[in-house]
C-alpha cells in the first residue's frame, strides 16, 4: 500500500507554480513593500527620501493612531459581549422544546450577515438620520422628542452607535455556528439533567456551556479578528468622524494614505496595524486558553508533568546503574 501518490516532479511543479506565485505576489510581496516604504518620506510623487525610523517615531506619538487602536479594542469587546452573548441566548431559546418554526428564525437571523457592510452602513445611516431617521421617528411617537439628536454627530456616542450595526449584522452568524454546536449535544444528557431537576439556566450554565467551549473559542477568535479589521461600515457611516471620534486603524491608514496621499507614513501605519492586530489576536488566544482551562485541569496537567519527570529520572538512573 502506498502512502502517497507519486506523480512526476514537473507535474507537481506545474500545478503549483501559478497559485504559489499569485499568492506570494498579493500577500507576501505587499508585506515586504509596506516594511520597505515605511522607512521613507513619500507623498506619492517621484521623490522618495529615506528618513530612517522617523515614521515610526511619529507613529508611537501619534495620538490619533492610538485612539483608533483603542476604538478597535472597544469594538472587539462590545462585539464579543453583544454578538456572541446575544447569539448564545437566542440559541438557547431556539433550542427550547416549546419553540416553533426554528428554521425560519435561523434563516431570518442569518440574513443580515449575507448583506454587504456597505448596505448595512447605509441602512443604519437611515435609521440614525436626524430628520428622516427611524430612531428619531420612534422617539417622536413615544413622546420623547427631547431625546432626539443628530445621532452620528455626537462624539461621545458615535463609537457605540457604529458598533450597534456591527453587532446586529453578525448575531445571526454566531447564532448558526453555536446552533450547530449545541445541536450536536446528545439530547439524553439534557433530558437526564431535566429529570434530575436542573432548571433551564442551570442546564445552560453547567451542561451546554462546557460542552460548546471549543466552538465558543472559535467564535471569539473570529470576533477578535473581524473587529480588528473594521472598515467598511465606518467608512460609509462616519468616515471616522466627527473629528476622529470614530476612527479605527484601517480607516486612519486609508485617510493618511489616500486622502493626504502620505504613502510613506501610510505604509508605516500598515506595519503598525499588522503588528498590533497579530498581537491582539495572539494575546486573546493566550488569555482564552488560560481562562478556559479551569484550575482543576491546570493542577492535573502540573501533576502529570511531575510524574513524567520522575519517570524519566528513574529511567536515567537505571541506565546509569547499568
Partner 1 sequence: MAKEMKMTKVEDNSAGTRVKRGVLTVVINFFLWFFSLTCIFPLFWMLYSSLKEKRVFNKDIMSLPKEPTLANYTKILSNKDYRLMQSVGNSARTTILSVLLIVIIAFIVGYILSRVDFILNKPLYIMFLMGMLIPIHSLMVPIYIIFSKMGLSNHWYTLLLPYVSFALPMSIFLVQGYVKGIPTELEEAAAIDGSTFSKTLFGIILPVCKPILVTVAIINVFSCWNEFSFALILIKDRALYTVPLGLKQFTGQFSSDYPKIMAAMLITMAPIVVFYFAFSKQIIKGMVAGAVKG
* Residues in the chain, total: 322
269 close to 252: Cβ distance less than 8 angstroms: yes
Which of 39, 88, 128, 173 is close enough to bind partner 1 by CB under 8 A? Answer: 173
CA geometry: angle at 87 spanning 84 and 93, to 5°?
145
Q: Does 151 bind partner 1 (CB under 8 A)?
A: no
Q: Name every residue whose Cβ is closer than 8 Å to that of residue 256 and which is 6 or more positions away in sequence.
A: 262, 265, 266, 269
| Distance in Å, CB of 109 to partner 1, minimum | 5
Which of 48, 106, 149, 203 is close enough to bind partner 1 by CB under 8 A? Answer: 106
Residues 203-242 that bind partner 1 (CB under 8 A): 215, 218, 222, 225, 228-229, 231-232, 235-236
Candidate ranges 13-21, 57-65, 149-157, 287-295; the one touching partner 1 (CB under 8 A): 13-21
Q: Does 189 bind partner 1 (CB under 8 A)?
A: no
Q: Does 185 bind partner 1 (CB under 8 A)?
A: no
223 close to 177: Cβ distance less than 8 angstroms: no
Which of 64, 78, 176, 211 is close enough to bind partner 1 by CB under 8 A? Answer: 176
Nearer Cβ to partner 1 (29/304):
29
Task: Give the total of residues touching partner 1 (CB under 8 A).
Answer: 96
Q: Does 37 bind partner 1 (CB under 8 A)?
A: yes
| Distance in Å, CB of 185 to partner 1, minimum | 15
Kindly report each contact of residues 254-262 with a partner whose C-beta sits within 8 Å and lies 24 or more positions away, as own/partner. Answer: 261/43, 261/44, 262/42, 262/43, 262/44
Q: Does 110 bind partner 1 (CB under 8 A)?
A: yes
| Distance in Å, CB of 309 to partner 1, minimum | 31
Q: Does 288 bind partner 1 (CB under 8 A)?
A: no
x/- contact string, 66-85, with partner 1 (CB under 8 A)?
--------------------
Amino acid at each position: 500500500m502506498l502512502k502517497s501518490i507519486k506523480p512526476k516532479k514537473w507535474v507537481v511543479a506545474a500545478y503549483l507554480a501559478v497559485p504559489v506565485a499569485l499568492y506570494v505576489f498579493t500577500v507576501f510581496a505587499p508585506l515586504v513593500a509596506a516594511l520597505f516604504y515605511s522607512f521613507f518620506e513619500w507623498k506619492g510623487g517621484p521623490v522618495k527620501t529615506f528618513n530612517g525610523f522617523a515614521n515610526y517615531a511619529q507613529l508611537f506619538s501619534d495620538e490619533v493612531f492610538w485612539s483608533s487602536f483603542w476604538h478597535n479594542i472597544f469594538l472587539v469587546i462590545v462585539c464579543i459581549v453583544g454578538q456572541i452573548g446575544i447569539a448564545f441566548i437566542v440559541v438557547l431559546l431556539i433550542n427550547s422544546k416549546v419553540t416553533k418554526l426554528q428554521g425560519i428564525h435561523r434563516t431570518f437571523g442569518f440574513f443580515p450577515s449575507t448583506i454587504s457592510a456597505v448596505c448595512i452602513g447605509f441602512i443604519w445611516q437611515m435609521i440614525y438620520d436626524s430628520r428622516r431617521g427611524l430612531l428619531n421617528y420612534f422617539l417622536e411617537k413615544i413622546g420623547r422628542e427631547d431625546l432626539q439628536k443628530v445621532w452620528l454627530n455626537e462624539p461621545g456616542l458615535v463609537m457605540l452607535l457604529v458598533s450597534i450595526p456591527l453587532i446586529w449584522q453578525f448575531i445571526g452568524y454566531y447564532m448558526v455556528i453555536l446552533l450547530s454546536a449545541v445541536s450536536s449535544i446528545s439530547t439524553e444528557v439534557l433530558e437526564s439533567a431535566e429529570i434530575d431537576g436542573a432548571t433551564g439556566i442551570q442546564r445552560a450554565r453547567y451542561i451546554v456551556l462546557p460542552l460548546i467551549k471549543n466552538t465558543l473559542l472559535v467564535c471569539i477568535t473570529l470576533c477578535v479578528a473581524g473587529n480588528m479589521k473594521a472598515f467598511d461600515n465606518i467608512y460609509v457611516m462616519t468616515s471616522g468622524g466627527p473629528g476622529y471620534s470614530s476612527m479605527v486603524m484601517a480607516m486612519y491608514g486609508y485617510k493618511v494614505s489616500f486622502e493626504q496621499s502620505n504613502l510613506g507614513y501610510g505604509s508605516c501605519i500598515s506595519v503598525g496595524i499588522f503588528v498590533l492586530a497579530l498581537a491582539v489576536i495572539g494575546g486573546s488566544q493566550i488569555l482564552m486558553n488560560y481562562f478556559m482551562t479551569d484550575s482543576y485541569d491546570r493542577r492535573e496537567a502540573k501533576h502529570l508533568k511531575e510524574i513524567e519527570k520522575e519517570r524519566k529520572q528513574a529511567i536515567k538512573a537505571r541506565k546509569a546503574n547499568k
